[in-house]
Structure 1
Amino acid sequence: MPTNTAPADLYRHGLQLLLDKNIPAWVDLWDDNGIFEFPFAPEGWPKRLEGKAAVADYMRDYPDHIDLHDFPDVEIHQTTTAHTIVVEMRGVGRLVETDSPFDMTYIAVVTVKDGLITRYRDYWNPLAVLQDPASDFTGRS
């Protein structure tokens, strides 16, 4: 993606990469020093990842845990900070290990600089993880 890509366009492109299960390309959307935060992560789950390498390690096996089928509801809101967006979205698919449905609602606050994600705060619902202990990956987006 070009360095002048608008945050909303970059984000939508990233969602398509996740649907395509192209995790390396999704990680390539990150700045080397990008920060991935999970403010609502339950005990024992990461709350903060620092750097593109940590994001890559965290996301490496994502398709082995969650088979995403669609993001049927995506609303992207512009903020007064030109490079930051707020995203409300829903991801649906199935949990690979149990073959049970996956349906998660997210709110994300994403900052982009020079066409790369520099900060991503993922406010996913930890109750979904606590309700399905067989899944060790439900909240990762």
Structure 2
Amino acid sequence: MTQNSVRTPRELVEHLFGGLPSRDADAFLAHFAEDAVFEIPFTVPGMPQRLEGRAAIREHLAERWSGPIQDIQVHGMRQEIYETTDPEVVVVENDVDITPAGGERVQFRGSLNVIRIRDGRVVLFRDYMDTARLAGLRGN
């Protein structure tokens, strides 16, 4: 199946999260619609709560992933994917096995995503991540 093939929402989400440890914003956003919305309802000061459009999302992720978070080593991710009664909406629970810079290896449980997929593309990615806890792991 090619990257641009229409997938089921579950297949698209599995592929989307499978590439996250590489922190490649372009590969991640290849699954997003041009006018997608990325929301982070529980953010820390200085981090936006809403980004509109693939270009704005890419800029934010590239900056976030190349900043202090780059010192966090990702060993693996496990997702629990829940399909809903709305065929466009998938809910994802994430556990990430990480080692923060200078820290101990931990299982980071702090991410829930609500993702709306239409015509094989992510149109809404709502990231309920515990950003304050993650900032604490990296020493900020």
Relative to structure 1, is the Cα distance of residues 104 and 114 closer, same or farther in structure 2, using a 3 angstrom cutoff? same
1:24 match: secondary structure: helix
Superposed CA RMSD in Å reads: 2.1
State the Cα distance separating 1:24 from its structure 2 match.
Answer: 1.5
1:68 to 67, 74, 91: 74
Q: Percent identity?
A: 24
- For structure 1, list consecutive stretches of 5 or more residues without a partner in the other structure: 136-141
Relative to structure 1, is the Cα distance of residues 9 and 35 closer, same or farther in structure 2, using a 3 angstrom cutoff? same
Q: Measure the CA separation in 1 of the matches of 2:131 and 2:42.
A: 6
State the AA in 2 paired with 1:57.
E
* Alignment correspondent of 2:13: 11
* Alignment correspondent of 1:138: none
Q: Measure the CA separation in 2 of the matches of 1:2 and 1:26.
A: 13
State the Cα distance separating 1:23 from its structure 2 match.
Answer: 2.8
Return the TM-score normalized by structure 2: 0.81
Number of residue pairs aligned between Structure 1 and Structure 2:
132
Relative to structure 1, is the Cα distance of residues 121 and 46 closer, same or farther in structure 2, using a 3 angstrom cutoff? same
* Alignment correspondent of 1:49: 51
1:120 to 110, 113, 125: 125
Q: Which has the higher helix share?
A: 2
Aligned pairs for 1:60-139 (under 5 A) are 60-61=62-63, 62=65, 64-72=70-78, 74-95=79-100, 98-100=101-103, 101=105, 103-129=108-134, 131-132=136-137, 134-135=139-140
1:60 match: secondary structure: helix
State the AA in 2 paired with 1:106.
S
- For structure 2, list consecutive stretches of 5 or more residues without a partner in the other structure: none
Off by >6 Å, runs of 4+ in structure 1: none
Q: Which moved more, 1:59-68 or 1:23-32?
A: 59-68
1:30-50 Cα deviation digits (max 9, x unpaired): 111000001111332210111
Relative to structure 1, is the Cα distance of residues 91 and 45 closer, same or farther in structure 2, using a 3 angstrom cutoff? same
Q: Measure the CA separation in 2 of the matches of 1:92 and 1:116.
A: 27
